[in-house]
Structure 1
Amino acid sequence: MTLVILALVIWVAAWALNAWLSNGPLSNSRIAGIAVPLIFGATVLIVWELVVRGMNVAAVILPPPSVIAGTFAQNLPTLWADAVQTIGKGAVSGYIIGCGSAFIVAIIVDRYDFLRRGLLPVGNFMAALPIVGIAPILVMWFGFDWQSKSAVVVVMVFFPMLVNTVAGLRDTSAMQRDLMHTYAAGYFQTLIKLRLPAAMPFVFNGLKIATTLALIGAIVAEFFGSPVLGMGFRISTSVGQLALDMVWAEIVVAALAGSAFYGLIALIERGVTFWHPSQRK
């Protein structure tokens, strides 16, 4: 019980410190922007550790962070091999194929209005399909290796990317298009010099959404069949063995990889759309 009280004290103290950093004289400084999330994250881990140990929570229900960290360190080769299989092969390949093909199709859809009217409703229908229904079918079609996981990712990221890109291509105003027309610019000149640059914030919004969907799709697809490798396979087998510390270690890998993937796309976005108001400080 002492550890639980200590956890409560630490939580209140960290809350007060973060409130001061967020609203005090350092609220607009770079120090506060870095310190607040670091303090919050460290507080969650410390409180988690103290509460689990103080209340004697069984490891099969919720292992403490120290045990998860130990399992992570002891199984680095296995975690790395799983990440290469799931992220490096399944998620990344599906992400590139799905987003790339969606971008090309969006330009074609924008050119021909009947495709926009016919394809986008199909996209809304496909986006509503549950992954647990699609994944087993694609695993049977493409086999148990990473190709089927890549196919699941393509299905998951294609339509969000398509919808965002089409919306971006249609975002220019009539005045801007009329101005290009007075310069005698054709469709492709207007597309390259006006509409594609204007669509970039929408395109990157779709790319950032797809980073999360790609990782989720690749992991979930492995639950329905995979070689003896992969993050989804490891989570499934570890749950069956009641090795929850290994499950949490895989979750940590997924969280780190997903954050890094999202951060990379956001960094590229900042360089490409530096002119957009959302990138100005």
Structure 2
Amino acid sequence: MWILLGILAWAGGSALNVWLARQAPGRTTALAVPLIFGVTLIFVWEAAVRGFGISPVLLPAPSAIAARMAGSTGVLWEDFVQTVIKGALSGYVIGCLAAFGTAIVVDRFDFLRRGLLPVGNFVAALPIIGIAPILVMWFGFDWQSKAAVVVVMVFFPMLVNTVEGLRDTSAMQRDLMRTYAAGYWTTLLKLRLPAAMPFIFNGLKLATTLALIGAIVAEFFGSPIRGMGFRISTSVGLLALDLVWAEIVVAAVAGSAFYGGVALLEKAVTFWHPSQRGQS
């Protein structure tokens, strides 16, 4: 019975999305298509688990995950604050601001660009599982060490994007500023920083995902008795997979909201850029 319901739900959702795709594009259609697909996928997941009798240790049903989330709101909120607010967000802000300031200095002195950016590419390639235990030993087991991991992860991607953005002006534009007797700082504020905004926001959006991943993974190498990474690692050992999935859902929602907030800010700031034109 559940298998049949799953097949019917998949067929119905697919047909509805195909019909919506043929309609005139608009905000309602753009929101309805992924929403219908997501609801259909969840229902098929539920039907498959129940129909095939899959063990909850292997794959809990969405209803079991939702029930666990409803019954563990206190734990989930505590983990959210520890990992996302204290670890990821603080490291994100510190790392991005430090990278932006460093990019201004690097852009001012060309020898720093030639010397620092290759080092940045090297550090950015370091695996998190290698640097996380070291930073945990340096900064302790609380959120400060997770923030330090996040700083390392977001600093160089943000730095590279900002430096490249500051260089994204044509010779004609710079010559025009010189004809107005504009100095370095005036040119930076009036021309180069606005032109660099798409690159800067690209680095900010990339850093949102890196920050959350870094904070969660760092908690696997030492944490107090709270945090998403701590909860996931201990719950797997206890075979409480419904709680593991609940933490994953919270992390996914937080990461999507984080990225979406930066994307909305980008749209407001870079409304003039061709990539933002014509978007509803």
TM-score by length of structure 2 reads: 0.98
In the TM superposition, residue 44 of structure 1 has moved relative to its aligned partner by 0.6
1:148 corresponds in structure 2 to: 145
In the TM superposition, residue 8 of structure 1 has moved relative to its aligned partner by 1.9
Q: How far does the alpha carbon of each residue in 1:63-118 deviate from its partner, in whole angstroms, 9 at most, with x for none?
A: 00000000000000110000001111011110000000000001111111111111
Q: How far does the alpha carbon of each residue in 1:164-206 deviate from its partner, in whole angstroms, 9 at most, with x for none?
A: 0011001011110111011111111110000000000110110
Q: How does 1:118-267 map to 2 (within 5 A)?
A: 118-267=115-264
1:102 aligns with 2:103: no
2:80 corresponds in structure 1 to: 83
Rounded Cα–Cα distance in structure 2 between residues aligned with 1:221 and 1:119: 26
State the one-letter code of the partner of 1:152: V
Q: How far does the alpha carbon of each residue in 1:230-267 deviate from its partner, in whole angstroms, 9 at most, with x for none?
A: 11000010000000000000001101111111111111
Q: Secondary structure at the match of 2:218?
A: helix
State the one-letter code of the partner of 2:5: L
Q: Secondary structure at the match of 2:115?
A: helix
In the TM superposition, residue 13 of structure 1 has moved relative to its aligned partner by 2.0
Rounded Cα–Cα distance in structure 2 between residues aligned with 1:29 and 1:260: 22
- 1:52 is aligned, of 46, 49, 52, to 49
In the TM superposition, residue 27 of structure 1 has moved relative to its aligned partner by 3.4
Q: Secondary structure at the match of 1:63?
A: coil
Q: Secondary structure at the match of 2:97?
A: helix
- 1:66 is aligned, of 59, 63, 84, to 63
Matched length? 278
Rounded Cα–Cα distance in structure 2 between residues aligned with 1:143 and 1:31: 48
Identity of aligned residues (%): 72
1:19 corresponds in structure 2 to: 18
* CA-atom RMSD in angstroms: 0.8
2:268 corresponds in structure 1 to: 271
Rounded Cα–Cα distance in structure 2 between residues aligned with 1:177 and 1:4: 65
TM-score by length of structure 1 reads: 0.97
Q: How far does the alpha carbon of each residue in 1:25-80 deviate from its partner, in whole angstroms, 9 at most, with x for none?
A: x2312221111011000001000000011001000000000000000000001100
Comparing 2-11 and 111-120, the one that deviates more:
2-11
Q: Secondary structure at the match of 1:242?
A: coil
4+ aligned runs moved over 6 Å, structure 1: none
Comparing 12-21 and 119-128, the one that deviates more:
12-21
2:3 corresponds in structure 1 to: 4
- Unaligned 5+ runs, structure 2: none
1:28 aligns with 2:25: yes
Rounded Cα–Cα distance in structure 1 between residues aligned with 2:3 and 2:126: 44
Q: Secondary structure at the match of 2:225?
A: coil
Comparing 263-272 and 204-213, the one that deviates more:
263-272
- Unaligned 5+ runs, structure 1: none
State the one-letter code of the partner of 1:4: I
State the one-letter code of the partner of 1:30: R
Rounded Cα–Cα distance in structure 1 between residues aligned with 2:65 and 2:152: 33
